[in-house]
Amino acid sequence: MKAGYQPKKIVLHIDKLARENYDSLRDMGIDTDIQISSLSYLARNDRQRVDLGHLKRIAEALDLNDMNEIISIENDDSYKDQTD
């Protein structure tokens, strides 16, 4: 790997948004018309692929104009350099 390279990870902020705006993920699911199982996976950041339609519905339900409130790219501090 290139010197100074820092692996990245994609982080969804669904859990935080749900806690700030709803009583439960179930309520968020009703408001966004997204199945609770799908929201649960998103809230746990337990997905390799994300349905952009789901992100759009969440943004519409919460009247968000900045996707950075839903998703971000952060340093992956769990990465361990194999060359140590």
Q: Tell me: the pLDDT tens digits for 9-42?
A: 999 999 999 999 999 999 999 999 999 999 999 9
Closest CA to 58 of 22, 12, 14: 14
Domain ranges of the chain: 12-75
Please give the sequence-ordered ranges of beta strands (E in DSSP) within the chain, or none if there are none: 8-12, 71-75
Confidence of residue 6 (pLDDT cuts 50, 70, 90): confident
Q: What single-letter DSSP state applies at residue 25?
A: H
Is the pLDDT score of 80 beyond 90? Answer: no
pLDDT recorded at residue 83: 47
Closest CA to 67 of 84, 50, 82, 81: 50
pTM (predicted TM-score): 0.81
28 within 8 A of 18, measured Cβ to Cβ: yes
Q: What is the average pLDDT score of the chain?
A: 90
What is the third-level CATH fold of 12-75? 434 Repressor (Amino-terminal Domain) (1.10.260)
Is the pLDDT score of 81 beyond 60? Answer: no
pLDDT recorded at residue 5: 80
